[in-house]
Chains A and B, each alone.
Chain A
Amino acid sequence: MSAPIAAGAPVPPGPTVLILGAASAIARAVAGEFARRGYALLLAGRDGEELDRLAADLSLRYGVKAQGRTFDALAFDTHPAFVEACRETSQDSLAGAVLCFGYLGDQAAAQKDPVEAKRILDTNLVGAVSILGLLANHFEEKRKGFLCALSSVAGDRGRQSNYVYGAAKAGLTVFLQGLRNRLHPSGVAVTTIKPGFVDTQMTYGRPGLFLVASPQAAAKRIVEAALKGEDQAYVPRFWWPVMLLIRLIPEKLFKRMRL
């Protein structure tokens, strides 16, 4: 952990972590956790103004270099230029990237309207595949670095309440498996994160939730898993046995359940 440096002193150059979808509560906490460990940060997302505020906050709190950069997961054709720009901005010091963006969407709407279903798949799967693929090429060439992406326990088994989102996340999980397999010889780690309930906008005020993790606690675990190069991490850890049980329920029975 690096101590905050004296206010106003020049910031030493250091390894940079790119956060994709940096404005969410989990992403903010993940960025804070990297900053606490002395990493510089590139914060990417749609809301440039908000990213600038978050970057200023990280710089002040941890004395690291942080800056915002606009990024739209759905604007696939802009992704190559975005990766190139990140490389330049970080003076080719990218240590890794964490993909935090996602779109839960509205399952009921997605059942009626293919446009909503497509948006869910495009954001969570196609957008992720596009940007992660480009970043994978970059790190493979460098023969070092890490990729970490927030998938979901929703991708572990299809359920009536969110199967479009679940399908997208399941696709992402499989994509990450393949990427991990491909990048292993290059020494680039690929980490799949499967968060359970985290205290965010997505969960706030919803009844029936249990053992909700704070974004800070989740972030700590995510960053630890990414830096250690773990293959897969349920966050918090107890979601692993929970999801194991859920995956083990026979389909004959599962299809009758309301989950």
Chain B
Amino acid sequence: MSLPGRPATPGPEPSAVRPLSGWGRFPVETCRIFRPEKPAALSAILDSGAEPSYIARGLGRSYGDASLNGGGGVISFERLNRMIAFDPATDVLECEAGVSLAEILDCFLPRGYFLPVTPGTKFVTLGGAIAHDVHGKNHHRVGTISNFVLDFRLRTAQGEVLTCSREQNSEAFWATVGGAGLTGLVLSARLRLQRVETAHVLVDFLKVAHLEEAIDAMEKSDHLYEFSVAWIDCLARGRALGRSVLMRANPAKRSDLPKGTGDPLSPRRRSERSVPLDFPAGLLNKFTVGAFNSLFYGLHRTASGRLADIDGFFYPLDSIRDWNRMYGRRGFVQYQLAFPPETSRAGLAEILERVSASGRGSFLGVLKRFGNATAGLLSFPFPGYTLALDLPVSDGLVPFLAGLDALVLSHGGRLYLAKDAVMAPETFAAMYPRLDEFREVRARLDPKNTLSSSLARRVGILPA
């Protein structure tokens, strides 16, 4: 037994060695985790050279091994989360990389500002959002988050601090955006927020019977909506393959709110629920998940102008803490792919057929039309369609995914590093044609490979 007031282990910074995983809880690897409380401590950690390499980690919401460094160092940015400045004239917020999107919302939504781009969870850090150049339900309109990042300060492995923007150190900027943390440590960034009148959106629901209809609807009318996404039943087969509920929305104005709503900028308070334990293996199977999906599809009706608050529309799963435990002890893989427009219909149909035929239970997937790509060398989105589905880890999953990878590749598609846990190096190289450019810029910023991650070694960005 030990009582408070005993010294910690000596060293440059206290650290903890323990098994670590991403949000999918697969894979799990043992890493040495540092959790500095001041930016100055980063140098002490990196310069000590105690670990073979280091990778930054935010809130651990990437699904696979992007924030893992098996046998090496992981630097948690949880406590490097100071807000630095806000300029109401330009709506630009500057903060340290460990600030979460949830913190930004807590602070700025009541003042009339929303995030310009947000992924499906607000529990990600700004640094992580930049490292994966994240997209949201408005990608078809505005692209990824980097379009709203004016600049950031990057501490390279060599100890230099570079201010990176489109004009200054632009090579480092475009390598870092989507660069999975491999170019340096983002210390702080400046992000342009989006003004909103209310904390609500007006949602139109459109129920469609199959994939073709979903794509037709998105082609025809996505441009009318600021936000667009579809929940797709990945277990439906035959004529119902790809049946979906499209949820498309525009920001609600003050006049859209019913009288007596109270503060228009205050979202409805939700009680937080959590998943208290790992669900037993096999609880989620094609029957239970199929039943859930049918119920979800059956309960939704085509409807328009439904008022929803920001938490409900953008972050439906954030109100259930530890929802990843639903997939049981072995975890799950979130498989997210993108197809270019010309192969989207055929590619998506083939993927859905494989998944539904395999019976590998997946709750509703997410289908979304992408807009323009950014210049990030390893940024994921390009024009076309993206599909994301959760697959519980079970025997044979890895070979099954290898088959899907080949299919994605044959249709000119690609996979998302923030989600990936199994892709092979050849697949990755074929999907990301600017990989060599990235490697060159990276090598200049970090010639000794001080920064590395399990992901980087697995997909062959860095030598194993």
Spell out A's residues near B (CB within 8 Å).
Answer: 3-4, 6-8, 23-25, 47, 50, 53-54, 56-57, 60-61, 104-107, 152-154, 159, 161-162, 165-166, 169, 195-197, 201-209, 246, 259
Contacts and interface: CB of A to CB of B under 8 A. Distances in A.
A233 B111 CA distance: 36
Contacts of B6: 161-162, 206
Nearest to A163: B5
Interface residues of B, number: 31
B15 A204 contact: yes
- Most chain B CB within 10 A, of A7, A105, A166, A205, is at A205
A25 B110 contact: no
Contact of B38 (A4, A50, A60): A50
Given A4-B110, A50-B38, A60-B83, A204 B3 contact: no
B273 interface: no
Contact of A204 (B5, B14, B106): B14
A50 B37 CA distance: 10
B84 interface: yes
A165 B3 CA distance: 13
A162 B3 CA distance: 10
B111 A208 contact: no
B82 to A, nearest CB: 4
Contact of B9 (A3, A153, A159, A206): A206
Contacts of A169: 5
B399 interface: no
B183 to A, nearest CB: 24
Interface in B1-40: 1-9, 13-17, 33, 35, 37-38
Contacts of B7: 104-107, 162
Interface in B78-93: 79, 82-86, 88
Given A201-B37, A204-B14, A205-B14, A152 B84 contact: no
B424 interface: no
Contacts of B320: none
B107 interface: yes
B9 A205 contact: yes
B125 to A, nearest CB: 15
B4 A154 contact: yes
A169 B83 CA distance: 34
Nearest to A54: B82
Nearest to B35: A204
A14 to B, nearest CB: 19
A230 B88 CA distance: 41
A217 B185 CA distance: 29
Contact of B8 (A152, A154, A202): A202
B145 to A, nearest CB: 20
B97 to A, nearest CB: 14
11 contacts: A6-B111, A8-B88, A60-B85, A161-B5, A162-B6, A166-B5, A204-B8, A207-B2, A208-B1, A209-B2, A246-B3
B4 A195 contact: yes
B107 A61 contact: yes
A201 B14 contact: yes
A8 B83 CA distance: 15
Given A4-B110, A25-B37, A25-B79, A203 B8 contact: yes
Contacts of B1: 208, 259
Interface in B293-345: none
B4 A204 contact: no
A126 B103 CA distance: 39
Q: Name the 9 nearest CB pairs between A and B, nearest first.
A: A154-B5, A205-B16, A57-B82, A60-B83, A204-B14, A8-B88, A208-B2, A7-B88, A162-B5
Given A3-B110, A195-B4, 18 more contacts: A4-B107, A4-B110, A8-B88, A53-B82, A56-B82, A60-B85, A60-B107, A152-B5, A153-B3, A154-B5, A161-B2, A162-B6, A166-B5, A203-B4, A205-B9, A205-B15, A206-B9, A246-B3
Contacts of B79: 25
Given A25-B79, A61-B107, A209-B2, A7 B8 contact: no
A192 to B, nearest CB: 15
A56 B95 CA distance: 10
Given A7-B88, A61-B83, A259 B3 contact: yes
Contacts of B38: 23, 47, 50
B83 A205 contact: no
B3 A159 contact: yes
A9 B77 CA distance: 31
A117 to B, nearest CB: 14
